[in-house]
């Protein structure tokens, strides 16, 4: 094993895991220089793992030094400092400056967690890959409890903290490396637990390369190719081609010009998450460049790539005897903001559920989806029953449509969406205007009904003010009327109706709530900016009056158009 640098590392990796209790936040600093301060729970006792128990092999990582803590010493902490591989090990690599990203946000379909992974960051290398490939590790011991926060915005004074035990059956499926503040942060990194397998030491390993977007579960599958990134673009290049790949890396001419066998392979997934490849797209592109100097290259494509498939580039691996290996996924993000994407997929169709007389039309835009079905439920959120399933029709622009010859106002609905062979069930409508609690089921609203027409007019608004003459107040809907000193209708406290309630004041006569805002207007206030008022993902709407996590600034939308 090789040893490189070790800066302290807290392997507090969560894994979405099973919540086993709640505790108030506290702060406790360890006396060991390798254990930074962490939230503590006095009743938890965690043993530091024996750092000498990890066998050396080409697939075992090496770090700069051994743990400074005693191998079997017990301490009252909630975050175990594990500096050697455990039951589950995640190795993250990035060429970007992620030195401040010592916090991790991870999630699965039911929960999201924030926790600190390191301070300063440990880096490890592997004999099989060489010193050029350094990884940030996260080590998870299935026998330990870990303390995590349930909010993206870290505040130990207000965040709800949970004590969790990692469990492979409840594994997280997404992970972001970030700073404590959330900026900088990496992109969303997807993990498929179904593909995880034990190594020769009985451990599960995940290798993530943010440069290429690849996630593999065996070190033998990790590519050391010279190509770092492949980006699909849709802007006209110097040779007149619109659709192209921008390939970035080192000595690319040894692959593109002097090498052979570079290709794109479209793929989808089967039922258990294995890739199912389609017919390869060969790339034959010549360029004149001195050997070993090319670092970036645009490769023209004769036709656009299919958004309903993923793509992976394969090329000879110069570090592995020319063996054909994956260079990583094709990244589509640049294409989504291109003029070609707008021309191919932009639509002015009205999306969501629209009621016109005795007809209800459902439209959802999803160019990458191969199939979407509509699930229609009853209008009783407490007894939805089994859904009526309706297959939707896809247009060239990627809009899926279903039409029902009846007024379905008040009915609940979801979608089952198939992307790349994987079907996600029970997806709420991103264009919905209403939903049940926590946004699990969208609801049809008839805005032509007399119940809504009275609220649809824009008459009576104050005339526009020059931007240079504006004075803006930022307001949080709940904060404005939540304090006990607000003496309006109790049922309206912290709610939208509270914002418009007049005749509220403190005992000394000072105006509060809506009347306070009107007083500010008389003194020059021209605008009120409401902080996000859409559906918050992290708030349990069934416990608004009891759960401490019911308060949020709202920068984690569940549904953008649902208040």
Mean pLDDT of 475-497: 91
The two tokens of residue 301 are 């494509």
Note the pLDDT tens digit of each residue in 311-345: 998 877 766 677 787 888 999 999 999 989 999 99
Q: Which helix (H) or strand (E) holds 254?
A: helix 253-256
**What is the structure's pLDDT at 38?**
30
Note the pLDDT tens digit of each residue in 106-123: 888 778 888 876 544 678
Best CA proximity match to 98, nearest among 153, 187, 177:
177
Q: How does residue 547 score in pLDDT terms, banded at 50, 70 and 90?
A: low
Is the pLDDT at 275 greater than 70, yes or no? yes
**What is the structure's pLDDT at 86?**
85
Mean pLDDT of 282-303: 66
Residues present in the chain in total:
563
Chain mean pLDDT for the chain: 77
Q: How does residue 522 score in pLDDT terms, banded at 50, 70 and 90?
A: very high
Q: Which of 103-112, 440-449, 485-494 has the lowest mean pLDDT?
A: 103-112
Structure-model confidence comparison of residues 558 and 266, the more confident one: 266
**What is the structure's pLDDT at 23?**
28
Between CA 401 and CA 513 the distance in angstroms is 44
The neighbouring-strand residues paired with 22 are 162
**What is the structure's pLDDT at 544?**
74
Is the pLDDT at 178 greater than 60, yes or no? yes
**What is the structure's pLDDT at 356?**
95
**What is the structure's pLDDT at 240?**
66
Q: How does residue 221 score in pLDDT terms, banded at 50, 70 and 90?
A: confident
Between CA 274 and CA 276 the distance in angstroms is 6
Q: How does residue 55 score in pLDDT terms, banded at 50, 70 and 90?
A: very low
The long-range contacts involving 154-159, CB below 8 angstroms and separated by at least 24 positions, are 154/103, 154/114, 154/180, 154/181, 156/25, 156/27, 156/39, 157/25, 158/548, 158/551, 159/25, 159/114
Note the pLDDT tens digit of each residue in 227-240: 778 999 887 766 66
User: What count of Cα atoms within 13 Å lies in the side-chain half-sphere of residue 498?
Assistant: 22
- CA distances in angstroms from 90 to 114, 186, 211, 347, listed in the order given: 16, 15, 16, 41
What's the CATH fold of domain 349-453? Immunoglobulin-like (2.60.40)
Is the pLDDT at 185 greater than 70, yes or no? yes
* Residue intervals in the chain for CATH 2.60.40.10: 349-453
Mean pLDDT of 348-376: 96
The DSSP secondary-structure symbol of 266 reads E
Q: How does residue 456 score in pLDDT terms, banded at 50, 70 and 90?
A: low
Other C-beta atoms closer than 10 Å to the C-beta of 39 total 23
3-state secondary structure 379-426: CCCCCCCCCEEEECEECCCCEEEEEECCCCCCCEEEEEEEECCEEEEE
**What is the structure's pLDDT at 301?**
81
**What is the structure's pLDDT at 155?**
78
Asked whether 123 and 108 are in contact (CB, 8 A), the reply is no
Domain 227-339: give its CATH architecture.
Sandwich (2.60)
Highest mean pLDDT, choosing among 102-116, 161-175, 522-536: 522-536
Note the pLDDT tens digit of each residue in 226-274: 777 899 988 776 666 678 888 888 767 666 655 556 788 999 999 888 8
Q: Which of 57-61, 304-308, 419-423, 437-441 has the lowest mean pLDDT?
A: 57-61
Asked whether 118 and 80 are in contact (CB, 8 A), the reply is no
Mean pLDDT of 283-308: 71
Best CA proximity match to 15, nearest among 193, 209, 134:
193
Best CA proximity match to 163, nearest among 21, 15, 12:
21
% the chain with pLDDT above 90: 34
Three-state DSSP at 90 gives strand
Between CA 63 and CA 50 the distance in angstroms is 15
Note the pLDDT tens digit of each residue in 387-437: 999 999 999 999 999 999 999 999 999 999 999 999 999 999 999 999 998
Task: Note if the pTM is more than 0.85.
Answer: no
Note the pLDDT tens digit of each residue in 58-68: 556 665 433 33
Between CA 71 and CA 390 the distance in angstroms is 60
Other C-beta atoms closer than 10 Å to the C-beta of 128 total 15
Other C-beta atoms closer than 10 Å to the C-beta of 76 total 12
**What is the structure's pLDDT at 351?**
96
Which residues have CB under 8 Å from 202's CB, separation 6+? Answer: none
3-state secondary structure 303-358: CCCCCCCEEEEEEEEHHHCCEEEEEEEEECHHHHCCHHHHHHHCCCCCCEEEEECC
Structure-model confidence comparison of residues 314 and 25, the more confident one: 314
The two tokens of residue 464 are 């526009």
């Amino acid at each position: 094993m090789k040893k490189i640098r070790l800066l302290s590392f807290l392997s507090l990796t969560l894994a979405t895991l099973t919540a086993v209790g709640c505790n108030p936040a506290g702060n406790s600093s360890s006396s060991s220089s390798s254990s930074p301060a962490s939230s503590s729970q006095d009743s938890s006792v965690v043993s530091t793992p024996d750092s000498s128990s990890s066998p050396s092999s080409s697939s075992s990582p090496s770090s700069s030094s051994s743990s400074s803590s005693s191998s079997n010493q017990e301490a009252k902490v909630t975050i175990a400092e594990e500096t050697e591989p455990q039951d589950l090990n995640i190795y993250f690599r990035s060429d970007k400056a992620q030195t401040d990203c010592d916090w991790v946000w991870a999630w699965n379909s039911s929960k999201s967690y924030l926790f600190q992974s390191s301070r300063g960051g440990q880096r490890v290398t592997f004999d099989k890959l060489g010193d050029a490939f350094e990884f940030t590790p996260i080590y998870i011991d299935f026998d330990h409890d870990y303390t995590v926060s349930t909010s993206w915005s870290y505040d130990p004074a207000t965040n709800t903290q949970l004590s969790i035990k990692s469990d492979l059956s409840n594994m997280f499926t997404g992970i972001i490396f970030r700073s404590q503040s959330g900026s900088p942060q990496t992109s969303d990194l997807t993990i498929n637990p179904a593909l995880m397998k034990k190594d020769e030491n009985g451990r599960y390993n995940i290798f993530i390369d943010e440069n290429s977007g690849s996630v593999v579960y065996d070190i033998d599958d990790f590519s050391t190719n010279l190509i770092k990134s492949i980006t699909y673009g849709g802007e006209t290049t110097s040779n007149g081609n619109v659709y192209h790949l921008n390939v970035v890396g080192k000595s690319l001419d040894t692959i593109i010009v002097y090498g052979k066998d570079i290709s794109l392979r479209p793929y989808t997934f089967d039922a258990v998450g294995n890739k199912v490849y389609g017919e390869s797209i060969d790339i034959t592109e010549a360029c004149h460049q001195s050997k070993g100097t090319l670092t970036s290259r645009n490769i023209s494509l004769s036709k656009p790539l299919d958004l309903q498939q993923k793509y992976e580039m394969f090329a000879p691996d110069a570090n592995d005897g020319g063996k054909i290996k994956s260079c990583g996924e094709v990244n589509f993000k640049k294409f989504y903001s291109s003029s070609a994407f707008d021309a191919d997929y932009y639509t002015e169709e009205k999306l969501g559920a629209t009621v016109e007389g005795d007809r209800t039309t459902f439209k959802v835009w999803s160019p990458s989806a191969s199939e979407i079905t509509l699930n229609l439920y009853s209008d009783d959120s407490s007894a939805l029953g089994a859904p009526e399933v309706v297959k939707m029709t896809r247009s060239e622009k990627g809009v899926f449509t279903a039409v029902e010859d009846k007024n379905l106002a008040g009915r609940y609905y979801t979608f089952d969406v198939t992307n790349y062979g994987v079907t996600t069930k029970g997806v709420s409508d991103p264009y919905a205007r209403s939903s049940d609690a926590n946004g699990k089921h969208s609801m049809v609203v008839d805005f032509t009904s007399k119940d809504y027409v009275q609220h649809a007019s824009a008459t009576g608004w104050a005339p526009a003010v020059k931007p240079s003459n504006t004075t803006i107040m930022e307001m949080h809907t709940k904060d404005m009327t939540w304090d006990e000193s607000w003496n309006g209708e109790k049922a309206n406290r912290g709610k939208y109706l509270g914002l418009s309630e007049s005749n509220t004041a403190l005992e000394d006569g000072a105006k509060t709530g809506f009347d306070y805002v009107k007083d500010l207007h008389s003194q020059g206030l021209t605008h009120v900016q409401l902080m996000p008022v859409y559906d918050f993902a992290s708030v349990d709407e069934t416990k608004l009056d009891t759960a401490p996590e019911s308060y949020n600034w709202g920068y984690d939308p569940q549904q953008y158009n649902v208040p």
